[in-house]
């Protein structure tokens, strides 16, 4: 169980990272203020030491892989197979983007969108190719932080280009499948490859949501037994971390829909059923995300109810005690006044008679509602205070 200092430190670190990210985006966007549309300027964070280029060309019978550390090394490569898949990790080198744009005849605005990793998921039909923007989601179990990364996919007649901010292993299962002997994927064309890439994205959504939901359910158990300000901060942290996944996942449904309705130049009729399957998975992910958001909202309500109930019990206890001792305070106050003529002052048993009057008022004879209220507060109902 996380202690209070560790939880507070985690929330402070997350807030500082978010503030630095906002300042970074504001600073980078100011660079393009005076530039023409289509100018190639990288606006995102630099997440790799140097960009890497990977080229996979294949057909039904063979596959070849080429890795390049610079754009000069790639110029000597001449693809000979039917389908080509080019992947770029790291977008900070605009000369690489310019070279790729000229080779595959990409519009400058498409290159500009690729270099600006804050795009909303969408699909653009550019005539000779289709440009898809998607967002990958990652979840850090240690810090309970969610990060998103833009994935740009360009689909041509026989090629697929993918652009990622950093190596994440997201598409590694697809690459492993292509490398396998007698791989069925190699004979299904470039559009089936795009289906596999989109499917890998949606599968990652499932994994991230399951991890967040498991952590949220564990937090819910703590809220039921011990509502503390530290838990409230953690609940708000979970609520804040669900914003980015929602922004990444919700538009994906429309992205898949538009891909299904796209021209058969990009997705053949044989691939349409696979895209519809990805669409169904996307709808399932959205429902799971809504359920997770409901869980977090319910935790806030449970926390507020728990705090309110604890306060009610404490106020009830204090009120009953106050009412019980109020007559005793009144009697003792009356007998403590400095007057010569006070009843029972001259009796040797006057003190014990006054005490008896106090006890008689507070006794439980079945007709005293004060004692009945006090009996309703048992040690089980009293609030307990434990460390989170």
Q: Please say if the pLDDT value at position 67 is more than 50.
A: yes
Q: Please say if the pLDDT value at position 369 is more than 70.
A: no
Max distance between CA atoms of the chain, in angstroms, equals 121
Give 135-149 pLDDT, tens digit per residue. 998 888 777 788 889
Do 121 and 195 touch, CB atoms closer than 8 A?
no
Give 19-54 pLDDT, tens digit per residue. 445 444 444 556 665 666 667 887 878 888 888 888
Contacts of 174 (CB under 8 A, 6+ apart): 185, 193, 196, 197, 200
Position with higher pLDDT, 7 vs 244: 244
Mean pLDDT of 322-331: 78
Give 358-367 pLDDT, tens digit per residue. 777 766 544 5
DSSP letter assigned to residue 349? T
d(CA 27, CA 36): 18
Residue 376 binned pLDDT confidence (cut-offs 50, 70, 90)? low
d(CA 306, CA 221): 12
Do 43 and 117 touch, CB atoms closer than 8 A?
yes
Task: State phi, psi for 286 to the nearest 5 degrees.
Answer: -60, -40
39-48, 197-206, 289-298, 340-349: which is most confident? 197-206
Q: Which fold has domain 4-305?
A: Beta Polymerase; domain 2 (3.30.460)
Position with higher pLDDT, 29 vs 6: 29
Mean pLDDT estimate for the chain: 78
Structure confidence at residue 233 (pLDDT): 82
Mean pLDDT of 255-270: 82
**Other CB atoms within 10 Å distance of the CB of residue 169:** 8
Mean pLDDT of 117-131: 88
Residue 381 binned pLDDT confidence (cut-offs 50, 70, 90)? very low
Give 288-309 pLDDT, tens digit per residue. 888 888 888 888 888 878 778 7
Mean pLDDT of 328-334: 75
Give 83-118 pLDDT, tens digit per residue. 889 999 988 888 888 889 988 989 999 999 999 888
Computed on alpha carbons and rounded to an integer, the radius of gyration of the chain in Å comes to 34
Structure confidence at residue 214 (pLDDT): 84
Do 41 and 31 touch, CB atoms closer than 8 A?
yes
Position with higher pLDDT, 203 vs 368: 203
Structure confidence at residue 340 (pLDDT): 66
Q: Please say if the pLDDT value at position 152 is more than 90.
A: yes
Mean pLDDT of 371-382: 48
Do 179 and 262 touch, CB atoms closer than 8 A?
no
Q: At what angle do helices 243-260 and 272-335 cross, to 10 degrees?
A: 160
Residue 160 binned pLDDT confidence (cut-offs 50, 70, 90)? very high
The domain segmentation of the chain, as residue ranges, is: 4-305
Min mean pLDDT across 13-17, 99-103, 249-253 is at 13-17
Structure confidence at residue 373 (pLDDT): 52
Q: Please say if the pLDDT value at position 284 is more than 70.
A: yes
Position with higher pLDDT, 162 vs 8: 162
């Amino acid at each position: 169980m996380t202690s209070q200092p560790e939880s507070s430190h985690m929330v402070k670190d997350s807030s500082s990272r978010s503030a630095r990210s906002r300042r970074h985006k504001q600073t980078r966007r100011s660079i393009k203020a005076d530039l023409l549309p289509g100018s190639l300027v990288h606006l995102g964070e630099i997440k790799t030491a140097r960009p890497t280029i990977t080229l996979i060309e294949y057909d039904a019978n063979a596959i070849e892989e080429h890795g390049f550390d610079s754009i000069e090394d790639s110029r000597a490569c001449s693809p000979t197979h039917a389908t080509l898949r080019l992947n770029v990790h790291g977008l900070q080198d605009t000369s690489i983007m310019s070279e790729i744009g000229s080779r595959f005849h990409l519009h400058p605005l498409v290159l500009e969108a690729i270099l600006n990793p804050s795009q909303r998921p969408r699909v653009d039909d550019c005539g000779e190719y289709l440009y898809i923007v998607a967002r990958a989601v990652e979840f850090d179990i240690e810090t309970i932080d969610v990060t998103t990364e833009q994935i740009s996919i360009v689909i041509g007649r026989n090629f697929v280009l993918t652009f990622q901010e950093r190596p994440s292993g997201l598409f590694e299962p697809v690459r492993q499948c292509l490398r396998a002997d007698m791989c069925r994927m190699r004979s299904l064309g470039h559009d089936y490859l795009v289906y596999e890439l989109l499917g890998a994205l949606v599968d990652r959504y499932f994994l991230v949501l399951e991890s967040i939901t498991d952590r949220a359910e564990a937090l819910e158990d703590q809220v039921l037994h011990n509502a503390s300000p530290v838990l409230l901060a953690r609940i708000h942290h979970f609520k804040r971390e669900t914003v980015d996944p929602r922004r990444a996942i919700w538009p994906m449904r429309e992205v898949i829909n538009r891909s299904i309705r796209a021209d058969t130049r990009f997705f053949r009729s044989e691939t349409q059923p696979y895209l519809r399957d990805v669409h169904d998975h996307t709808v399932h992910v959205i429902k799971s995300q809504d359920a997770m958001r409901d869980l977090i909202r319910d935790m806030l309500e449970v926390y507020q109810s728990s705090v309110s109930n604890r306060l009610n019990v404490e106020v009830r206890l204090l009120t009953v005690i106050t009412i019980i001792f109020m007559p005793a305070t009144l009697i003792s106050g009356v007998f403590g006044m400095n007057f010569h003529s006070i009843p029972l002052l001259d009796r040797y048993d006057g003190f014990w008679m006054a005490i008896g009057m106090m006890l008689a008022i507070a006794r439980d004879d079945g007709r005293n509602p004060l004692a009945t209220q006090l009996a309703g507060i048992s040690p089980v109902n009293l609030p307990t205070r434990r460390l989170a």
